[in-house]
Amino acid sequence: MKHFDLAIIGTGSGNAIPEELNDASIALIEAGRFGGTCLNVGCIPTKMYVYPADVIEDAKAAHELGVDLSYHGVDLPLLQDRIFGRRIDVIAEGGERYRKDECPNITVFSDMARFTGDKTIEVAGEHITADQIIVAAGSRPQIPDLVTDSGVPYYTNEDIMRIERLPKRLLILGSGYIATEFAHVFSALGSKVMVTGRSDVLIKHQDRDVAVRFTRAARERWDVRLGQETTGLTKDGDTITLTFADGSTATGDALLVATGRIPNGDRLNLAAAGIDTHGDGRIKVDQHGRTSAAGVWALGDVSSPYQLKHVANHEARVVFHNVTHPEKLRSFRHDALPAAIFTHPQIASVGMSEQEARDAGYDIAVATQNFGDVAYGWAMEDHVGFSKIIADKKTGLILGAHLMGHQSAILIQSLIQAMALGTTAKQMAEDQLWIHPSLSEVIENCLLGLEL
C-alpha cells in the first residue's frame, strides 16, 4: 500500500498545486480528461463558441447601423479544430504529460477514486493512503428520468461541442445558464432552437427584472416554451419529439439536456471515510474547507453551492494554504460573489437580487439605467441592455447589481470591486471621473439614480 503526504482527487482547480508542496509526495487522481470541467467541457471551450456567435449576431444587427454585413454559415470542423485540436486538447494533454513526466514528487492515477476507509483510497486497482486528502472531484450533468427512460439519444455540455454536424433543429431541455448559452451559440450558427423549462421565465435564479427582460428578448430569437412539464420524449427516424403537459409538441433532430449539474461525491464512497454530505449530495465543509473527516478537505463543485470556476479557484487557494499552514487557517470568502451568463444579450450579476434584499430586511434603494439612454448606447442602437443596482439606504453600500447587455461581464467589475472594498454607492459615483462617452456611464448614471 503506497503512502503519500497528500492525495488530490480531481485535476481542475485541484491541480493548482503551490510550489510549497514541491517536496511533498502527492497522488493526483483524475477519472476523466485532465484539467477538469472548465478546461475541457465548460468555461473555456464554450466561450470559444460564444465569441464567434457574438460576431455573427453583431453582423446580423449591423443593418440598424447602416452597414451591410451578411453571415454565410459556419465551417464547423474548422471551428472545432481551432477550439479543440489547436487549443483545449493540446493544453489538457500537455498538463497531464507535465505532471507525469516533469513532477517527480507527483504520481498521477488515471482512474476513479473510491474511499475504502479513513484516509484510504482505492484507485486503479491499488489502495493508497495519505496524511491529507483534498477532494476536488467536480460535478456532472444531471439527466432527468424522462430522458434516460426514453432511450432517446441526447447531448450534454460535455459532448455537444464536438457534434459532427450542425443540427437543423435543436431541442434544449433546460432554461438556465448552460441552456441559454448554447441556445445563443447554435441559433447564431444557424440552427432553429427550442428552449423549454418549468418556470415562467428563463434564468429564473437571476433578479426578476433581468429574467423577465431576458425572456422577452429570447422569444424574438428562439422558440421558448415555459411554465409546464415535459411529459414525453420519443424518436422516430431522425426526428425527436418533446411532448408537453398541455399536449403541444416540439420536434428537432438533436436534443441537448441542460437541466443542471450534480456533485460527484456520490461516486466516491464518502461514507467509508466518515465524510458527511448535504441532502443534495454536496460534501459538507466548514469555512476553511475541512470536511467531517480529519485531514480531508473539499473544494469546488463537489462541495460548494456555487458552481463557478472562479469560486473553485478561490477555494483552492484557501484550502492549499490551510493544508500547508494549519496553524494559520484562512476562510472562504463568498460575499460579493459575481457570475455571468455568456448568452445574448450577455448577463452579469453580483450580490443580492432585489427580492433577496427585501427578504433580508434591508431598507433599499433601487435604480435602473438603460444602455440606450447613454451616448455609447445610442451609438450602438441598443434597445435591450440595462443595469440595476440595489443599495442599503442606511449605509449607502451596494447590496447587489445586475446587468444585461453588451459586455456586461466586464462592466460589472467596478461594482464587484466597490462591494468587495466597502465603497458606498455615493463614493463610487462621485469620487472618480467617468469616461464620456463610454458605456461605463450606464453604471455612473445608475448609481446617481439611487435615492439614498
- 436 tagged catalytic: yes
Q: Please tell me the distance from the alpha carbon of residue 279 to that of residue 361, in angstroms, as a whole number.
A: 28
- Opening angle at CA 174, ends 305 and 248, nearest 5: 150
Q: Consult the annotation and say whether 95 binds a ligand.
A: no
* Residue at 389: amino acid letter: I
Q: Consult the annotation and say whether 107 binds a ligand.
A: no
Q: Consult the annotation and say whether 47 binds a ligand.
A: yes
Q: Please tell me the distance from the alpha carbon of residue 167 to that of residue 154, in angstroms, as a whole number.
A: 12
Q: Consult the annotation and say whether 113 binds a ligand.
A: no
Q: Consult the annotation and say whether 179 binds a ligand.
A: yes
Torsion, Cα of 307, 312, 314, 316 (10° steps): 160
Q: Please tell me the distance from the alpha carbon of residue 89 to that of residue 102, in angstroms, as a whole number.
A: 19
Q: Consult the annotation and say whether 24 binds a ligand.
A: no
- Opening angle at CA 200, ends 37 and 392, nearest 5: 80
Q: Consult the annotation and say whether 289 binds a ligand.
A: no
DSSP 92-103: HHHHHHHHHHS-
Q: Consult the annotation and say whether 364 binds a ligand.
A: no
Q: Consult the annotation and say whether 178 binds a ligand.
A: yes
Give the 3-state secondary structure of residue 61. helix
Q: Consult the annotation and say whether 324 binds a ligand.
A: no
Q: Please tell me the distance from the alpha carbon of residue 16 to that of residue 12, in angstroms, as a whole number.
A: 8
Q: Consult the annotation and say whether 175 binds a ligand.
A: yes
Q: Please tell me the distance from the alpha carbon of residue 58 to that of residue 53, in angstroms, as a whole number.
A: 9
Instruction: State the cell numbers at 152.
Output: 432517446
Question: Which residue is catalytic, options 3, 278, 325, 436?
Answer: 436
Tally helices (H) and strands (E) across the chain. 14, 21
Question: Chain-centre distance of CA 42, in angstroms?
Answer: 7
Do residues 49 and 161 touch, judged by C-beta distance below 8 A?
yes
Name the residue with cell 444531471. Answer: 142
Q: CA of 75: how far to CAs of 42, 56, 71, 79, in Å?
A: 22, 13, 12, 6
Give the residue ranges of the annotated binding site.
47, 174-181, 260, 301
- Annotated binding-site residues for FAD read 47, 301
Active-site residues: which are they?
436
Pick out the residues of the known binding site for NAD(+): 174-181, 260
